Structure 1
């Protein structure tokens, strides 16, 4: 989806809003992860909802080759812990307590530190995170994490289900991002904030 990348311009962190059961979310997610040639990318998934093999299967559904390097941080028990042999040994990290934001931040830092080339990160999802921590705690975590990723030169996107939250919560989260991609109405609605800070 080249036009999506063009619309997003230089946005480094993006809020991807889509109802949990909406169609097409996986395709847009993979498009946001594909910032350059697949074989050169370093891709990290932070998943509250899917297993490592599910994350990788979505990538493989769109690309002929695996990313140059990848990692999956599986948070909590709901995403499952299976590793069916399709995922490289050592690529999967587990955080059993979803409210362990420090642990998540450390694992993300370990993945991005010292990497060269394009780093892309998917956090799925803030809606799941907000089941375990309050909005203020989530805000502080996302603020710190997006700063960490920006410093590493990474492009990141964070999933949220706008139908699961009130407008104030969505607006609070939106304030942390350079851009948003909203799939709520079945169309792709892209909004950017200029100048990027």
Structure 2
């Protein structure tokens, strides 16, 4: 893929490429494959792309390990994680910076900016940022603070021509909270699982199929 192409692409998923600066909210059940879907959307497709995680459900090292298991290239000059779990710890060897709690949104924002700048300075012309998931932030921090954090995060990604992929389980938050959070994003990718079959559909993004598309992670 040429760096002149104005899209981020998603191999092995029924999704077309999206423009630089796009932020996508991924919704679906926590046990229905949303973690794997989110990580597959964050797989680097060019040697000069970077990936940055904001990890709240699993610690930073586990998140990076799961990413590698799905085919992610752990070039720690261009890949890292902000660990927002309560038991997280800094680990410079794998570019993990911990903030100590999902309630520390200010710390998460500072570490995100620092890591983003470092990854970009290390040669990543474009950076994919993933948040898995937003649900712990909603539980631990005041709603207004979460909304402000999400809007600030997506704004920075948009300005930097990055890609943002943020996951949330809609069953873990009320409808009003979900609706307010969704306003910060350009569109949504919805995941469902029925009778052992998973499918996704897209809402709000141009040039994407709007009907449900089957997805098989085992074959990806």
TM-score normalised by length of structure 1: 0.83
Aligned to 1:18: 28
SS state of the match for residue 65, structure 1? coil
SS at match of 1:131: helix
Query: Matches of 1:14 and 1:97 in 2, distance apart?
Result: 24
SS in 1 for 2:192: coil
- Offset at 1:90? 5.7
Aligned partner of 1:113 in structure 2 is 117
On the 8 A contact 1:51/1:82 being kept in 2, the answer is no
User: Is the partner of 2:31 in helix, strand or coil?
Assistant: coil
Instruction: Select which of 186, 189, 204 maps to 1:192.
Output: 204
Alpha-carbon contact 1:48-1:128 (below 8 Å) kept: yes
**Distance (Å, rounded) in 2 between the aligned partners of 1:46 and 1:176:** 17
* Residue 218 of structure 2: aligned partner: none
Structure 2: gaps (5+ residues): 1-10, 207-220
Question: How far is the alpha carbon of 1:177 from its aligned partner?
Answer: 0.4
The alpha-carbon deviation at position 45 of structure 1 amounts to: 0.7
Taking a change above 3 Å as real, the CA distance of residues 64 and 138 of structure 1, as seen in their structure-2 partners, is: closer
8 Å contact from structure 1 (residues 99, 129) kept in 2: yes
Is 2:71 the partner of 1:63? Answer: yes
Specify which structure has the bigger relative contact order, considering alpha-carbon pairs within 8 angstroms and separated by 6 or more residues. 1
Contact 2:90 2:97 (C-alpha < 8 Å) held by counterparts: no
Counterpart of 1:104? 108
- Using the alignment, how far apart are the partners of 1:9 and 1:53 within structure 2? 28
Q: Is the 8 A contact 2:28 2:191 kept in 1?
A: yes
Instruction: Report the alpha carbon displacement of residue 147 of structure 1 after superposing the two structures with TM.
Output: 0.6
Q: Is the 8 A contact 2:22 2:158 kept in 1?
A: yes
What is the Cα-based RMSD across aligned positions, in Å? 2.5
Is the 2:28–2:168 contact (alpha carbons within 8 Å) kept by the matching residues of 1? yes
**Shift in CA distance, 149/64, structure 1 to aligned 2, threshold 3 Å:** closer
Contact (CA 8 Å) 2:53, 2:81: kept in 1 or not?
yes
Q: What's the offset of the Cα at 1:64?
A: 6.6
Taking the aligned partners of 1:169 and 1:111, their CA distance within structure 2 comes to: 28
Q: Helix, strand or coil: the match of 1:26?
A: helix
CA distance in 2, matches of 1:189, 1:182: 5
| Aligned-partner SS, 1:43 | strand
Q: Does 1:41 align with 2:52?
A: no
Distance 1:108 1:137 in 2: 16
Task: Note closer, same or farther for the CA distance 1:73–1:128 as it changes in structure 2 (3 Å cut).
Answer: same
Q: How does 1:111-190 map to 2 (within 5 A)?
A: 111-113=115-117, 115=120, 116-185=124-193, 186-190=198-202
The number of aligned residues is 187
- Report the Cα offset of residue 126 of structure 1: 1.2
- Counterpart among 32, 45, 64 of residue 41 in structure 2: 32
